[in-house]
Amino acid sequence: MKLNSKNLVMRYNAQHTTPAIAKRYLSSPFHPIRPKIAHMYAHRDRNTLWWQVSIVQLLEYKAMVRSWSRRRTRTAFQNALRKQGFDPDGKRTAEGLLRYKWDLTGSVDIHPRPQSVLSSFEDVQRDADSLLERILRQWASGAKRARDEDASVSSYSDNP
């Protein structure tokens, strides 16, 4: 699912996906860090939210601006998670235990748009909050659908 706002683009997948940079190393059989990347993703916790900020759309800017934008976007997304009751790994906090039945899992790729460099942090935060709310609505409806399907499958399997 791809979500857009003025300052950010978020792609959410309920399944864990390997980021494009890691895929580049994994697809090269002779790359020196391939074994390390393969081991890292083979043993990564599947009960957490995998998320990253990619600055591909900001390559026209200097490295200092790109790192500043990445750091600012990460902070905004972590704040949005905290407001919804999750820690940065998608695990429910005390507040999240009251609001949600499961931890948030899957993958989120966040891409700051070039206009986010000129926007205030409050605008970026507002966009992160609204996009995360949309992801959570989609995630909650998908989790409900999966629970309903599991219940219907178990009810069929219980009756011969």
| Chain segment 88-115, per-residue pLDDT in tens | 999 999 998 998 888 999 999 999 999 9
CA-to-CA distance for 33 and 25, rounded, in angstroms?
7
Of 99, 160, 131, 94, nearest in space to 8 by CA: 131
Does residue 79 carry a pLDDT above 90?
A: yes
Question: Is 33 part of a structural domain of the chain?
Answer: no
CATH number at residue 54: 3.30.230.10
Does residue 35 carry a pLDDT above 60?
A: yes
Task: State the chain's mean pLDDT as an integer.
Answer: 87
Question: Is 52 part of a structural domain of the chain?
Answer: yes
CA-to-CA distance for 149 and 103, rounded, in angstroms?
19
CA-to-CA distance for 32 and 16, rounded, in angstroms?
24
Conformation bin of residue 108: beta by default, left when phi > 0, alpha when psi is -120 to 50: beta
What residue numbers bound the domain in which 111 lies?
2-20+46-158
Residue 143: predicted pLDDT: 58
Does residue 134 carry a pLDDT above 70?
A: yes
For the chain, how many residues are written? 160
Question: Is 34 part of a structural domain of the chain?
Answer: no
Query: In which band, very low, low, confident or very high, does the pLDDT at 140 lie, cut at 50, 70 and 90?
Result: confident
Beta sheet of 2-4, edge-to-edge order: 2-4, 8-13, 106-112, 49-53
How many domains would you assign to the chain? 1
Question: Is 39 part of a structural domain of the chain?
Answer: no
Question: Is 29 part of a structural domain of the chain?
Answer: no
Query: In which band, very low, low, confident or very high, does the pLDDT at 53 lie, cut at 50, 70 and 90?
Result: very high
Residues above pLDDT 90, as percent of the chain: 63
Other C-beta atoms lying within 10 Å of the C-beta of residue 11: 15
Question: Is 40 part of a structural domain of the chain?
Answer: no
